[in-house]
Amino acid sequence: MTVEVSSLKELVEQASGDDRSPDTQEYFVNMGPQHPSTHGVLRLVLKLDGERVLRCIPVLGYIHRSIEKISEHMNYMNCVHLTDRMDYLSSIMNNWAVSKAVEEAAGIEVNSRIQYIRTIFAELERIQSHQLWWGVLGMDLGAFTPFLYGIRDREVLNDVMEETVGARLTMNYVLPGGLMADIHPNFVHRVKEFIKYFRPKLDEYDDLLTNNVIIQERLRNVGILSPQTAVQYGATGPVLRGSGVAFDLRKDHPYGVYDQADFEVPVGTIGDSWDRYWVRVEEMRQSLNIVEQLLDNIPPGDFLVKKLNSKIKIPEGRYYSQLETARGVLGVFIASDKKDEPYRLHYRSPNFNNLWCLEPMIKGDYIASLIGAMSSLDLVIPDIDR
């Protein structure tokens, strides 16, 4: 039994040492941390043979903000606000995950109005997250138009949510015990208009990208991730479902009011970039269905069950809670020592675990395919670094 702690420099030197071939030279390229298609500050150290990727070593930590350490000195109400800054495209779902963990641990029951509104907002946010991903995927593959289309429709949805929430990115809407504010009187009406507006746009998306022969060539049979590898490498969310494993917490362990909505979980077949693309586009349709079913049934009631009190105390013990964000399973672990601050708070972020599928997906393939495959993972870097 040996323990050896190495460094990136040693790893790169070690990996470059086995270059003995007379007709080819293997070399290293740094991709990022400012590369436009890494969607933030992700750095990949690539070992290349010509254009073939032999190794892909992700280097993290460029925007590590030690959210877990900061949270140890904050009460539970404050912890919620930091989660907006992790996966900024699923901020309401992040808030909800912490609120759900705190509510389950402290025994706070919330009424069904709160659950309905949370579920509807989570689905709206899933749609806007996938809209942005769809546009950016087109741009990563060299097509600029989809980005404009995606942002155009996302703006419409953002306006609807902004009216209630008051913010466009770090929404900060869900609290332990309820919501920041009640929904705006226009909300139901405007969401219905949005659904009417966006359904035909999804067909337009299909015309522009899905049925486009260039996109199909770039995505089909590229970055194949077998179901076994996906499970072993910790993938969840659309990445895992693209590989054919029908695991969705909304279906398998329902929370909120997902058990009252009728929806399907789209599943891919061979796990290539195309399957992950198709799963997300299909998820937008399913999310529209969920919102449509729930929208007319929002029951009356308060939007906050408990008066806002920062001194929520949680009994001693370990608590674990999770929910499905736009990218996969977000788990919240709380270790409590009876105080109003967490003794230890840990986030199992979906992107952190999905990222490691990149190397098995892309090994031996071209560097151009890497861009498309990485885009199909839908990485958000602040969520990896936390």
Where do contacts with another protein occur on this chain (CB under 8 A)?
Answer: 1-9, 11, 60-61, 64, 66, 68-69, 73, 104, 231-234, 236, 245, 247, 252-253, 315, 317-322, 329, 331, 333, 335, 343-344, 346, 348, 352-353, 356, 385
Give kind and range of the element (H or E) at residue 183: none
Q: Where are the alpha helices (DSSP H) in 89-186?
A: 91-106, 112-140, 145-165
Question: What is the nearest approach in angstroms of another protein to the Cβ of residue 338?
Answer: 12
Neighbours of 313 (CB within 10 A): 13
Axis crossing angle, helix 112-140 with helix 145-165, rounded to the nearest 10: 160
Question: What is the nearest approach in angstroms of another protein to the Cβ of residue 64?
Answer: 4
Give kind and range of the element (H or E) at residue 287: helix 273-295
Of residues 60 and 295, the one with the C-beta less far from another protein: 60
Of residues 186 and 232, the one with the C-beta less far from another protein: 232
Of residues 82 and 245, the one with the C-beta less far from another protein: 245
Of residues 307 and 311, the one with the C-beta less far from another protein: 311
Question: What is the nearest approach in angstroms of another protein to the Cβ of residue 324?
Answer: 13
Of residues 22 and 107, the one with the C-beta less far from another protein: 107
* Three-state secondary structure readout of 22-87: CCCCEEEEEECCCCHHHCCCCEEEEEEECCEEEEEEEECCCCCCCHHHHHCCCCHHHHHHHHCCCC
Question: What is the nearest approach in angstroms of another protein to the Cβ of residue 73?
Answer: 6
Of residues 13 and 204, the one with the C-beta less far from another protein: 13
Question: What is the nearest approach in angstroms of another protein to the Cβ of residue 125?
Answer: 23
Tell me which residue of 160, 271, 162, 154 sits closest to 205, measured CA to CA: 154
Question: What is the nearest approach in angstroms of another protein to the Cβ of residue 292?
Answer: 28
Cis peptide leading into residue 33 (ω within 30°): yes
Of residues 121 and 247, the one with the C-beta less far from another protein: 247
Question: What is the nearest approach in angstroms of another protein to the Cβ of residue 61?
Answer: 4
Q: Is 148 left (phi over 0), alpha (psi -120 to 50) or beta?
A: alpha
